[in-house]
Chains A and B, each alone.
Chain A
Amino acid sequence: MTDQAYNFAYLDEQTKRMIRRAILKGLAIPGYQVPFASREMPMPYGWGTGGVQVSAAVLTPDDRFKVIDQGADDTTNAVSIRSFFERTAGVATTTVTADASIIQTRHRIPEEPLTEGQVLVYQVPIPEPLRFLEPRESETRKMHALEEYGLMHVKLYEDIARHGHIATSYAYPVKVEGRYVMDPSPIPKFDNPKMGDMAAIQLFGAGREQRIYALPPYTQVISLDFEDHPFEASKANHACGLCGSEDSYLDEVIIDDAGGRMFVCSDTDYCEARQAAGHKGQDAA
């Protein structure tokens, strides 16, 4: 049931038009952060208001909507956002990655490759990849304009000098089409390679910071690295305890107070589908 007091997908049409303009601009300049007049949403800033506004602007009544948080459809905030759109837009929802036309995500890219016609909407807390190197927005915008990314390389180099490795494991910066350095949102760097050459449209919404950016399908996205320290997508060196998958991203679950733990897929839909197909991990019942 749609809540009659509000417009389809909550936002008024004027606001959606403003957001769509920002999205189109973002798609035209991949990786560039487009300022937009983010609205107060009925959920707190920092809880996906950017993603929600982007989803609201691109949703149509025929869409099938999926929401994941940490890869799972059943985490509380994913449940909350899904029911928000069930209520305000009355759209069909699904947990099956392949069935969804729009997927809103926080911190993960689904394991199953996305296809043409799908849209992946990321919730972004801090859209500026240079923010923790330079707190001033006026400065970072200048740095992007001048393609002045030396500071970022120095930071990565210092990591290597100090730790022997680049000490960034999530929100690992990428370069888009050889131009803009972009924050991929706090996905684990394991997911970074999936961003490049993706068949689906990728949209990024940062509500509190009032920024939208985008990657059109089949965009070149390269994780920053050095020739002698190449980028490496890493994950826990285990197989999923439930479905036995060797190549999905794993969460570590503590199962007793004596150091016992097991590893399970963070992508619940992927894991369930594998179990349904008869795959079994070593901890499966």
Chain B
Amino acid sequence: MYVAVKGGERAIENAHAWLAEERRGDTSIAELSVAQIREQLSLAVDRVMAEGSLYDPDLAALAIKQARGDLIEAIFLIRAYRTTLPRFGASEPVDTGAMACDRRISATFKDLPGGQVLGPTFDYTHRLLDFKLVADGEVPDAPTRDPEPGDVPHVTDFLNREGLIEEAPQDDTPPSDLTRQPLEMPAERALRLQALTRADEGFTLGLAYSTQRGYARNHAFVGELRIGAVPVEMDIPELGFAVEIGEVTLTECETINQFKGSKTQPPQFTRGYGLVFGQSERKAISMALVDRALRWEELGEDFEGAPAQDAEFVLYHADNIQATGFLEHIKLPHYVDFQSELELVRKLRREAGADQVQEAAE
């Protein structure tokens, strides 16, 4: 005997209680602190800050703890929190030329002003499980050296002096804000870059990889990849000048891409650009490749029908919070829609069956 389902409220409460218990895990194992996550899972923290669009390592670490290590869930927590924060103003554009680089490499020049600095990279590690870490994670101090004095100039500026690379288009109109205005097409580059910097790392990586395999190939060289802290300055109207309010760690990637020239442009290298919160170089490089692919129109290239060239396809599907929400909503009840489909399919089948019987009789 069926009675109308009741008790959704209690079921939800109990599910949440169970979830909290599962998050904590075996209570005979020490609880993970937010500071431990911040310090020892810092690349996860960086990803949550980048895709959550909020630079706060402590909150990102808290979100990772609360989300049981599900980074998209953690990003969601950060996004939902950030949207409630009041806006005091906007910073001055950061100067990545003044970055205190932890890492700075160029794949296009063997040596260059500012030097090649490998920094803390996985690049040349052999991917062998280090069983020592099971017992003991202590490490000896790494050797240190004073940084080279002075700014670290951008590689693309060297090329620019010879006119070998396109001018970076200069435009001082304030860009629209993706988090304050609805995304509308066509989207200018500033808006596309905003969407890409918070885009899902996996989605961006897949798209970038597709351009390397021939879907809108634009042969990218990593002109430069740099990671480090930059000061953030904000103009305080009461003071009449900008003051430093803190610093953020950024990963910046500038690609140098081939370009044969067109009716309007002499042969010149072109640019792709990636800039991401924290140490996220896979994401920064991916972003630069996708940025370059999306620029086909302004560079007078052909639209090859490649996914990475299609701004509507890329921008409307790159946000993992939108994507995961809509994907997972199909878990919600759809009894009503399904019922109407059931009725329709039954009706169509009934009629089809009747026709067959009639044909057989004839």
The answer to whether the Cβ of A59 comes within 8 Å of any Cβ in the partner chain is no
The answer to whether the Cβ of B138 comes within 8 Å of any Cβ in the partner chain is no
Taking a contact as CB atoms under 8 Å apart, the answer to whether B312 and A138 are in contact is yes
> What residue of chain B has the Cβ atom nearest to residue A6's Cβ?
B84
Restricting to B1-31, which residues have a CB under 8 Å from any CB of A? 1-9, 11-12
The answer to whether the Cβ of B144 comes within 8 Å of any Cβ in the partner chain is no
The answer to whether the Cβ of A145 comes within 8 Å of any Cβ in the partner chain is no
Taking a contact as CB atoms under 8 Å apart, the answer to whether A76 and B12 are in contact is yes
The answer to whether the Cβ of A115 comes within 8 Å of any Cβ in the partner chain is no
* Distance in angstroms between the alpha carbons of A36 and B183 in the assembled complex: 9
Restricting to B172-201, which residues have a CB under 8 Å from any CB of A? 179-186
A sample of 16 more A-B contacts (CB under 8 A), given A46-B325, A163-B348, A266-B336, is A12-B84, A38-B182, A40-B79, A40-B83, A40-B321, A45-B321, A46-B327, A46-B328, A70-B334, A75-B333, A79-B9, A79-B12, A167-B348, A186-B336, A255-B1, A283-B2
Binds B, one of A147-155, A223-231, A234-242: A234-242
Sorting the interface of chain B by its residue count into under 10, 10 to 19, 20 to 34 or 35 or more gives 35 or more
Taking a contact as CB atoms under 8 Å apart, the answer to whether B8 and A76 are in contact is yes
Taking a contact as CB atoms under 8 Å apart, the answer to whether B344 and A167 are in contact is yes
B interface list, Cβ under 8 A from A: 1-9, 11-12, 76, 79-80, 82-84, 86, 179-186, 312, 316, 321-322, 324-329, 332-337, 339-344, 347-348, 351
11 A-B pairs with CB atoms under 8 Å apart are A35-B182, A37-B182, A40-B79, A45-B322, A46-B328, A75-B333, A108-B336, A165-B348, A169-B341, A187-B336, A271-B4
* Distance in angstroms between the alpha carbons of A189 and B325 in the assembled complex: 26
Q: Contacts A44-B328, A45-B322, A45-B326; is A70 near B336 (CB within 8 Å)? A: yes
* Distance in angstroms between the alpha carbons of A158 and B64 in the assembled complex: 50
Taking a contact as CB atoms under 8 Å apart, the answer to whether B339 and A283 are in contact is no
Scoring B324, B326, B339 by chain A CB atoms within 10 A of each residue's CB, the highest score goes to: B339
Determine the main DSSP class of A at the interface with B: loop
Taking a contact as CB atoms under 8 Å apart, the answer to whether A44 and B340 are in contact is no
Taking a contact as CB atoms under 8 Å apart, the answer to whether A190 and B5 are in contact is no
The answer to whether the Cβ of A262 comes within 8 Å of any Cβ in the partner chain is yes
**B2 touches which one: A10, A188, A264 (CB < 8 A)?**
A264
The answer to whether the Cβ of A26 comes within 8 Å of any Cβ in the partner chain is no
Binds B, one of A176-184, A196-204, A213-221, A245-253: A245-253
CB distance from B357 to the nearest CB of A (A): 16
* Distance in angstroms between the alpha carbons of A268 and B8 in the assembled complex: 14
CB distance from A121 to the nearest CB of B (A): 17
Q: Which chain A residues lie closer than 8 Å to B185 at the CB level?
A: 136-138
Taking a contact as CB atoms under 8 Å apart, the answer to whether B348 and A268 are in contact is no
Q: Which chain A residues lie closer than 8 Å to B79 at the CB level?
A: 40
> What residue of chain B has the Cβ atom nearest to residue A169's Cβ?
B340
Q: Which chain A residues lie closer than 8 Å to B186 at the CB level?
A: 138
* Distance in angstroms between the alpha carbons of A77 and B2 in the assembled complex: 21
Scoring A76, A107, A163 by chain B CB atoms within 10 A of each residue's CB, the highest score goes to: A76
**A125 touches which one: B6, B83, B180, B326 (CB < 8 A)?**
B326
Q: Which chain B residues lie closer than 8 Å to A253 at the CB level?
A: 2
Q: Which chain B residues lie closer than 8 Å to A44 at the CB level?
A: 76, 321, 324-325, 328-329
Q: Which chain A residues lie closer than 8 Å to B340 at the CB level?
A: 169-170, 188-190, 234
The answer to whether the Cβ of A66 comes within 8 Å of any Cβ in the partner chain is no
* Distance in angstroms between the alpha carbons of A146 and B333 in the assembled complex: 37
Taking a contact as CB atoms under 8 Å apart, the answer to whether B337 and A170 are in contact is yes
Taking a contact as CB atoms under 8 Å apart, the answer to whether A71 and B8 are in contact is no
